[in-house]
Amino acid sequence: MAAPDFPAFRARAPWWGADLQTLRNVLRGPVVRPLSEGDERILLPLGDDSGDALCGALSQSDVPQRGAPLVVLVHGLSGSEESAYMHSSGRFWLDRGHRVLRLNLRGAGPSREHCRFQYHAGRSEDLRAALTALPRDLAQDGFILVGYSLGGNMLLKFLAESGGEFPIELAASVSAPIDLAAASQRFLHPRNFVYHRHLLAALKRECFGGRSEISAAEAGAVRAARTIFEFDEKFVAPRNGFRDAEHYYAENRASRFLDEIRVPTLVVHSLDDPWIPARSYSQRRWDANPFVVSLLSPGGGHVGFHDRGARTPWYDRCIGLFRDSLRRRRSGVEFVPDQLLAQGP
């Protein structure tokens, strides 16, 4: 079976262009009502002798469907369970009858009070530990996993390393920086000055507060960093056992792992993303792994995709179509991965 006939993305007024698509969530917030009412707080120990645990917000559907997989959403750089895209996607899946877990990565959002250390682009073992720690009643029907931006890179790496150990029905990444070095360099472009300054300040804030364990030398390096590259070079890399930023980027970029994924996975990206060079996606042979389907749009910005005629982001509807196509396939004949054709740019 070929991949679904995904609808073309068409920008919704007044969010024309890559930057307005990217900024819409910050300027206006979620397109749906927040999901905080009635959420259950979930605490997932990481079991790595750090004492750290991840927090998640579990939402129950008003129209629960029996046997529906748990949807786990993984935020991006400087995000949390409260990020606008986490609320929008959460509402989409709740309306389809799923329970939704909005997961806060190590040291992010509510996890800050339960963590000594911080997440990074390749800390896929944290996702593995979190899924392992879930109560049986949440895990018994399997998973749908969706990662955004940096969380998407982490998710793709996890799928290659550990995906086969879990009952994952499907996974999807949205605007993942699959070439970390290229994305880091892109932030240094003058056009990205405001984005860069905002994200660097947010990264620095995440290093302090709660149970954060940071030495005086590390604190000095964090405060002195003038770029995200310097932050990664002087803090993230040495703190996590990498020689330098380039080593950290090379070891953890999702592009290294895509060919090893054996879970049906949809990779969604916009070629006008202001944070990620188009060549990271457009120059890749997406037919190399039949389990991975690429959906590359000319427009949409970074985790934007606010399109005409719908309040639900375009990528959510496309992920839903991807799941529907897999379910139709499985209802007739057993899933044959080489018939899931990748979509080129």
Residue the block writes with tokens 């996606």:
281
Residue ranges of E strands in the chain = 40-45, 53-59, 70-74, 100-103, 143-148, 168-174, 265-270, 292-297
How is the chain split into domains, by residue range? 18-178+255-339
Query: What residues have CB less than 8 Å from 16, skipping those under 6 apart?
Result: none
Environment class of 273 (CB within 10 Å of its CB; exposed 0-12, middle 13-18, buried 19+):
buried
The dotted CATH code for 18-178+255-339 is 3.40.50.1820
Q: What is the pLDDT of residue 103?
A: 98
Q: Tell me how far apart the alpha carbons of residues 244 and 246 are, in angstroms, rounded to a whole number.
A: 6
First to last CA, the chain: 19
Residue the block writes with tokens 């944070």:
275
Q: What is the pLDDT of residue 339?
A: 35
Q: What is the pLDDT of residue 31?
A: 63
Q: What is the pLDDT of residue 338?
A: 36
The full 3-state SS of 30-50, as one line of letters, equals CCCCCCCCCCEEEEEECCCCC
**What single letter denotes the amino acid at residue 262?**
R
Question: Is the pTM of the predicted complex or chain greater than 0.85?
Answer: yes
Q: What is the pLDDT of residue 337?
A: 41
For residues 85 and 148, is the Cβ–Cβ distance under 8 A?
Answer: yes
Tell me, rounded to whole angstroms, the distance of Cα 188 from its chain centroid.
22
For residues 254 and 178, is the Cβ–Cβ distance under 8 A?
Answer: yes
Instruction: Centre a 10 Å sphere on the Cβ of residue 217 and count the other Cβ atoms it contains.
Output: 11
Q: What is the pLDDT of residue 2?
A: 55
Averaged pLDDT in 10-residue chunks for the chain of 345 residues: 81 95 86 72 96 97 95 97 95 96 97 97 98 97 98 98 97 98 97 97 94 96 98 98 98 98 98 97 95 98 94 95 92 46 33
Q: Tell me how far apart the alpha carbons of residues 187 and 230 are, in angstroms, rounded to a whole number.
A: 12
